[in-house]
Structure 1
Amino acid sequence: MSKVNKIGGLATAALLTCLPLAACSNSNGEAQGGAKPEAGQEGAAQTGGAGSKLLVSDKQVEMTIHFHDGDSKVFKDDFPVFKKAQEMTNVKLHGTAPPSATNSREVFNMMLASGNLPDIIAGLKLDLNKAALDGAMEPLDPLIDKYAPHIKQFLQDNTYAKAGSVASDGKLYYIPYIMEGEASEGWYIRQDWLDKLGLPVPKTVDEYYRTLKAFRDQDPNGNGKKDEVPYFSRDNKEGVNKLIPLFGVRPEWHVVNGKVQYGKYLPEYKEAVATLAQWYKEDLIDKEIYTRGAKAREILLGDNVGGATEDWFPSTATYNDTLKDKIGGFQFVPIAPPADKSGKVWQEYSRMLNREKGWGISSTSKHKEEAIKYFDFWFTPEGRRLMNFGIEGVHYDMKDGKPIFKPEVLNGKEPVNKQLWDVGAQLDVGYQMDLFYEEQWTNPIAMKGVKMYIDNKYFAPQFPSVSFMPKEEKVISEKWPAIDSYIREMQQKWIMGAEPVEPNYDKYVKRLKEMGMDEVIKIYQDAYDRYQKNS
């Protein structure tokens, strides 16, 4: 059987099953408005040319690319950013993904099943590495060593990027999309309510509890009604989980002294969820926290009844602008995470720097050398600036050595990131984000919170991006969806008072064991140990 036929046969089977993926939240999608600039202008500093160090080839090279990322993000041959890259590198790309399709993973698997592989394949880590083990992707380490000095240096300087991207065989098959800046979300509170009630900013879990009670009882919105919602969240699934760290519990996957643990399977989770059930009973937590959904922040703040939350820095801070004329003195500001019950101040949720997306080279490509050199271009200062900020003279101007977005970009009708997506910048391919891109359109109140969290190093270590072997993926795909569903079901029952935590917690742990939780933890432990060896 030929390699292409083998790929097609294996990928056809892959169409039938897909592992569940954790959604990646990103404040980039919550930008303030910005104008859509006119395309066609060019910045001389970005232009390549004969003899340029950025050229991939003296003659134009044409390659195909599969890129499909959601309903509207499909590679377009006329993306201005990639046309500019063509001028600088002599590489012209042609997209192959159908723009009418909406299911990216289905489109990816259909591309593999066809056996007609493009030169460059972009997608999720899980899909790229699975395709690699099926023979569809080219190992990149030898190519990087020989042709990609900028990527090689980046991976040497940032070992987590490679360790979190290699397949279970230890080989690197794709160049990852790397974000910058851990601070993505934090704790927010109504400062104007604190001032009205004469309360300090809560610094401990006990003070936070007392503050929520004061919001409930002392009518801080001044309407004479007991309608305040002390704590709320717009995340139906994770809203309550964001309070769990107040009790010293890390809710999800984490590592303690080299041992992988899952927070909601630990004995200490019992106390945390029991206490939060009491908070819910006392009307300190939004009664609709599991159902209100994405509009919760907009509705509760807009109605002047929401008191506190844990949410994204940029988008949450914008309510200080949008509500200032509607609610006199409105101040919704970031605060340090309240110290947990043991007195430790830390932040559980932060930005995942290795986004588990990127692009690689198909094993059937006849342009492997040119493709890896092209990937390397995006890790040069010129390439990185192009992907992060767009085209000089169109989207930004260089001032004091920095790319500064034009006023029409920052202040127009479309969000800055949407404008950049529309021209081919900030795509989820293999490059490194520049945090300065985001800082320019982030509200000053949010930036104050970001700086506070970074300067004080509040962030708990994230569980790394690990890779599973095929047999491990099979076990996880069979067992984890039911386990995760059961964990969420029981938490909601306990919080809402449908059944007490005691004496049912031991039954909960026993049921998780029966469902295969220990086996799943063992798989995560093995994957983590492999990650450590690659670091």
Structure 2
Amino acid sequence: MNKRRQRTAAALMSVTLAAGLIAGCSKGEAPPAVQPSDSGGAPKEVNYPEKLTYWAGMGNAGSVLKSFNEMGAYKEMEKITGTKVEFQHPPSGQEADQFNLMLASGKLPDIIEYNWASVAKGPDNAIKEKRIIRLNELIEEHAPNLTKILNEHPEWKKLITTDEGNIYVFPFIRGHEELLTFHGPVIRKDWLDKVNLPVPKTIDDWEKALTAFRDQDPNGNGQKDEIPFLLTMGDINVGHAFIGAWGITTEFYQDNGTVKYGPIQPEYKEFLTLMNRWYKEGLIDKDYATTDSKLKDAKMTGDQLGSIVTYNGSGIGRYTSLMKDSKPDFTLIGTTYPVLKEGDKALGQMDFPFRGDGGAISATAKNPEELVKWMDFRYGEQGHMLFNFGVEGESYVMENGYPKYTDLIMNNPDKLPITQAMAKYFVASWSGPIIQDVRYQEQYLSLDVQKEAIKNWMDADHSKLLPPITRTADESSRYSSIMNDINTYKTEMIDKFIMGAEPLDRFDDFVNTLKGMGIEEAIKIQQAALERFNQR
């Protein structure tokens, strides 16, 4: 912060603190942020860094901005803090490779935004190897906004603290339970109406619906070109749809505190048997294994596809928007997770508030105290509004105390999709060191069918999901060595089982091979990590 700004901050803020930070300041009028006085008197000035370097993937902004320097929130933050930021952005799709190259080079920027829980050997080791620094004491001393939030939400503090007691990032936290569920089974309601069937609830209901889609020409073109269900194991991995009917997942899960691995359970064979039969009977897209996102889009917008497992925004919302002119009766709905018996609850998708994403401070940074103060700005009222809603008067306006997005976001004059219009102003639609605000989603998911989808997808069993556990450095090395080979083999074999290239009576051989590859050791590693997590 420059000298003149420092001299005027206290006088200006003594008048405007309450109104300015609570109501949100208009463009060009936002005063410098301050910390409360320890003695309860005039607020203290905040010394932000003059400049810093910041590495981050661009997320949803990659298609509309060249740099975060062009984003509305960051431009306003620079006006408020006086800090000049040099952003470093890896090419889209190359984030992991570029991150590893950066660490290997030893030339680290001041702040690195990444999923640090996914880093080889884990965040505790990154601190020991002096890649990044432990933040606990710095946050307590210099980050009053985040400190207040963590004190009010000890469950969040537990998630962002490692087994060794380290806080390693300024976290991205989903701040409401409705932000945790965003993925699930989706079906064409207009097709159901045409074949005179109700919304399916059980696996048997789904089979009847998919069979009718195959046989009764719901797209009305006189050709048998309907694809009843496009299965992708990636989508099923995210949300556990269909496999969750058996109370297991395709990965690790817990059962009353005991870690298990889905693909070696007897129920997994039952799931594969169903998928294999549906594939043989033409209920599953015969080309599912080679269908990428563009082909999936073409099949949906070509009025061929009856059901998928997908996201609420980029799935239901996007396809509804794409089809509204060419096929006005097109209706996608999110169903409850399929169960074996009506009245049961399947295992479904739910994220945890924190998954390891956030901004870490590198061990080579020369001014960590100032960097902590700069990062903490995002967790105060001004920063929260900027990074969830953008610039007041441009991307949102306050109506009866509610931040309402303007037509610049909701009906963009350049025809940008909502997600891209948002990305020009703020980061709430993907990630970043912020508390994500549920009011962002209330408007982003603007369709009634999207709101209903959340309710249906939340109506599931989440008790078996593993929290974001962390492994020690030694465990991480061994675990990665085991699972890299297992994941390759598992994916190959699952496709073979579903397509019939491998007979299902060889499922026991598949399980024995996984055991020979070390899956039981990997389970023990996960079990130890879960027990440490539970003891935090």
| TM-score normalised per structure 2 | 0.82
* Mapping 1:373-388, distance limit 5 Å: 373-388=373-388
Higher helix share: 2
2:128 aligned to 124, 128, 133, which one? 133
What is the aligned partner in structure 2 of residue 409 from structure 1?
Answer: 409
Distance in 2 (CA, whole Å) between partners of 1:452 and 1:51 is: 40
What is the aligned partner in structure 1 of residue 20 from structure 2?
Answer: none
| 2:88 paired with 1:97 | yes
- Shift of the alpha carbon at 1:254? 1.4
Counterpart contact for 1:121–1:360, Cα < 8 Å: yes
What is the aligned partner in structure 2 of residue 122 from structure 1?
Answer: 113
The more displaced of 201-210 and 239-248 is 239-248
- Shift of the alpha carbon at 1:351? 3.9
- Shift of the alpha carbon at 1:401? 0.9
Opposite residue 401 of structure 2, the aligned amino acid is: G
Counterpart contact for 1:192–1:331, Cα < 8 Å: yes
- Shift of the alpha carbon at 1:321? 4.0
Q: Secondary structure at the match of 2:88?
A: coil
2:517 aligned to 497, 515, 518, which one? 515
The more displaced of 356-365 and 518-527 is 356-365
- Shift of the alpha carbon at 1:343? 4.4
What is the aligned partner in structure 2 of residue 288 from structure 1?
Answer: 287
1:161 aligned to 150, 153, 156, which one? 156
2:137 aligned to 109, 132, 142, which one? 142
Distance in 2 (CA, whole Å) between partners of 1:74 and 1:526 is: 43
What is the aligned partner in structure 1 of residue 534 from structure 2?
Answer: 532
What is the aligned partner in structure 2 of residue 340 from structure 1?
Answer: 340
Opposite residue 306 of structure 1, the aligned amino acid is: L
Counterpart contact for 1:476–1:520, Cα < 8 Å: yes
Q: Secondary structure at the match of 1:231?
A: coil
The more displaced of 476-485 and 337-346 is 337-346
Counterpart contact for 1:313–1:449, Cα < 8 Å: no
* Mapping 1:466-477, distance limit 5 Å: 466-477=469-480
Counterpart contact for 2:139–2:146, Cα < 8 Å: yes
2:99 aligned to 105, 108, 119, which one? 108
Taking structure 1 as reference, are residues 375 and 249 closer, same or farther at Cα in structure 2, changes over 3 Å only? Answer: same
What is the aligned partner in structure 2 of residue 323 from structure 1?
Answer: 323
- Deviations for 1:280-323, whole angstroms, at most 9, x for unmatched residues? 11111111111122134423333323222221122333433432
The more displaced of 134-143 and 481-490 is 134-143
Opposite residue 477 of structure 1, the aligned amino acid is: S
What is the aligned partner in structure 1 of residue 496 from structure 2?
Answer: 493
- Shift of the alpha carbon at 1:206? 1.4
- Deviations for 1:149-183, whole angstroms, at most 9, x for unmatched residues? 33223224444433333345331121211124122
Q: Secondary structure at the match of 2:210?
A: helix
- Shift of the alpha carbon at 1:437? 1.6
* Mapping 1:24-423, distance limit 5 Å: 43=26, 47-49=30-32, 57=45, 61-69=49-57, 72=62, 76-77=68-69, 79-88=71-80, 90-95=81-86, 97=88, 103-125=94-116, 126-127=118-119, 129=123, 130-180=125-175, 181-233=179-231, 235=232, 237-238=234-235, 242-318=241-317, 319-327=319-327, 329-341=329-341, 343-346=343-346, 348-412=348-412, 413-423=415-425
Taking structure 1 as reference, are residues 108 and 62 closer, same or farther at Cα in structure 2, changes over 3 Å only? Answer: farther
Opposite residue 440 of structure 1, the aligned amino acid is: Q
Q: Secondary structure at the match of 1:290?
A: helix
Opposite residue 492 of structure 1, the aligned amino acid is: D
Opposite residue 417 of structure 1, the aligned amino acid is: T
Structure 2: stretches of 5+ with no match in the other structure: 1-24, 38-42
Q: Secondary structure at the match of 1:440?
A: helix
Q: Secondary structure at the match of 1:84?
A: helix
Equivalenced residue count is 491
Opposite residue 81 of structure 1, the aligned amino acid is: A
Taking structure 1 as reference, are residues 230 and 76 closer, same or farther at Cα in structure 2, changes over 3 Å only? Answer: closer
Distance in 2 (CA, whole Å) between partners of 1:417 and 1:56 is: 38
Distance in 2 (CA, whole Å) between partners of 1:328 and 1:149 is: 51
Distance in 1 (CA, whole Å) between partners of 2:458 and 2:289 is: 33
- Shift of the alpha carbon at 1:457? 5.7
| TM-score normalised per structure 1 | 0.82
Structure 1: stretches of 5+ with no match in the other structure: 1-41
Q: Secondary structure at the match of 2:283?
A: coil
Counterpart contact for 1:186–1:449, Cα < 8 Å: no
Taking structure 1 as reference, are residues 489 and 375 closer, same or farther at Cα in structure 2, changes over 3 Å only? Answer: same
Counterpart contact for 2:73–2:426, Cα < 8 Å: yes
Opposite residue 124 of structure 1, the aligned amino acid is: N
What is the RMSD of the two structures over their aligned residues, measured on CA atoms? 3.1
Taking structure 1 as reference, are residues 63 and 498 closer, same or farther at Cα in structure 2, changes over 3 Å only? Answer: same
Taking structure 1 as reference, are residues 216 and 417 closer, same or farther at Cα in structure 2, changes over 3 Å only? Answer: closer
- Shift of the alpha carbon at 1:483? 0.1
The more displaced of 128-137 and 482-491 is 128-137
- Deviations for 1:205-253, whole angstroms, at most 9, x for unmatched residues? 21221222222222323333332221114x4644596332233332222
Q: Secondary structure at the match of 1:188?
A: strand
Opposite residue 86 of structure 2, the aligned amino acid is: G
Counterpart contact for 1:317–1:443, Cα < 8 Å: no
Opposite residue 344 of structure 2, the aligned amino acid is: K
Distance in 2 (CA, whole Å) between partners of 1:267 and 1:62 is: 60
Q: Secondary structure at the match of 2:356?
A: strand
Distance in 1 (CA, whole Å) between partners of 2:300 and 2:71 is: 39
- Shift of the alpha carbon at 1:514? 0.7
Taking structure 1 as reference, are residues 107 and 207 closer, same or farther at Cα in structure 2, changes over 3 Å only? Answer: closer
